[in-house]
């Protein structure tokens, strides 16, 4: 029996309603280790393309540097006019997502283990009920998001095009948020515990 990760219900208190756009703001956020295989270079390159067109965008990278991040990329991140990087304790993550407009998982689908993982952050993103942009990793495509996710190829121009579409169409973002709000109760740790409990009971009944 496979049971994926889930989200703490604390996210619901910080995000009591579906996402609603704020005029003149577009904050993009990634949470987790900043590594090459997790697509940080892809995300930075995509947002650099967009910043030339939409100077109001901000990219928030919340996490420590990890393998594969070059000194040049670190320099771009730390000296950028539109990128903000910091590190926060897990307890601060729900509140940190409040001002965000798009949550991103730019994983490299060519990395086999990323196609098999069940990242906790995807369920935390769902718990925040904000639009989610993902690359086409298998682990991110089978959640049953009802349209709350947008998927893109692992390409800076393709990711920039998708983000640009979302910037230009706040109604699409609102609908994505509503879809995620409608499914987030299905992804709590309480639901996961119930699934394990009933799965174990069903095994004992058949033996």
Query: 131 near 195, Cβ under 8 Å?
Result: no
Total domains, the chain: 1
Question: Degrees (nearest 5) of the Cα angle 165, 170, 174?
Answer: 120
CATH number at residue 119: 3.40.50.2000
Report yes or no on 16 lying in a domain: no
Q: In what order do the strands lie in the sheet with 83-86?
A: 83-86, 57-62, 26-31, 102-105, 132-135, 149-152
Report yes or no on 4 lying in a domain: no
Tally of CA atoms within 13 A in the half-sphere of 142 that contains its CB: 10
Report yes or no on 10 lying in a domain: no
Task: Tell me the pLDDT of the chain (207 aa) as tens digits.
Answer: 444 565 677 788 899 999 999 999 999 999 999 999 999 999 999 999 999 999 999 999 999 999 999 999 999 999 999 999 999 998 999 999 999 999 999 999 888 867 766 677 888 899 899 999 999 988 778 776 678 999 999 999 999 999 999 999 999 999 999 999 998 877 665 565 555 444 556 666 665
| Among 140, 134, 162, CA closest to 46 | 162
Residue 94, sorted as left (phi over 0), alpha (psi -120 to 50) or beta, turns out to be: alpha
DSSP state string for 24-75:
T-EEEEEES-B-TTTTHHHHHHHHHHHHTT-TTEEEEEES-B-TT--HHHHH
Report yes or no on 1 lying in a domain: no
| Among 100, 109, 132, CA closest to 38 | 109
Report yes or no on 2 lying in a domain: no
Report yes or no on 129 lying in a domain: yes
Residue numbers of the domain that contains 61: 22-206
Encoded tokens for 53: 């067109």
Is 9 strand, coil or helix? coil
List of residues 6+ apart from 93 with CB closer than 8 A? 31, 62, 124
């Amino acid at each position: 029996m496979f049971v994926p990760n889930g989200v703490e219900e604390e996210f619901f208190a910080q995000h009591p309603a579906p996402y609603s756009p704020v005029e003149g703001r577009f904050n993009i956020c990634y949470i987790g280790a900043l590594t090459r295989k997790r697509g940080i270079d892809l995300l930075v390159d995509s947002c650099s393309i967009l910043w030339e067109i939409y100077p109001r965008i901000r990219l928030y990278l919340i996490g420590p540097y990890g393998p594969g991040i070059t000194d040049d990329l670190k320099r771009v991140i730390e000296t950028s006019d539109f990128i903000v990087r910091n590190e926060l304790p897990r307890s601060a993550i729900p509140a940190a997502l409040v001002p965000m407009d798009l949550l991103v998982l730019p994983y490299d689908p060519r990395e086999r283990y990323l196609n098999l993982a069940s990242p906790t952050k995807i369920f935390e993103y769902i718990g925040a009920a904000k639009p989610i942009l993902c690359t086409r990793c298998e682990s991110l495509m089978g959640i049953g998001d009802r349209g709350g996710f947008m998927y893109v190829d692992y390409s800076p121009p393709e990711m920039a095009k998708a983000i640009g579409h979302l910037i230009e169409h706040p109604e699409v973002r609102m609908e994505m948020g509503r879809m995620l709000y409608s499914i987030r109760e299905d992804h709590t740790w309480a639901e996961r515990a119930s699934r394990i409990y009933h799965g174990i009971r069903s095994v004992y009944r058949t033996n």
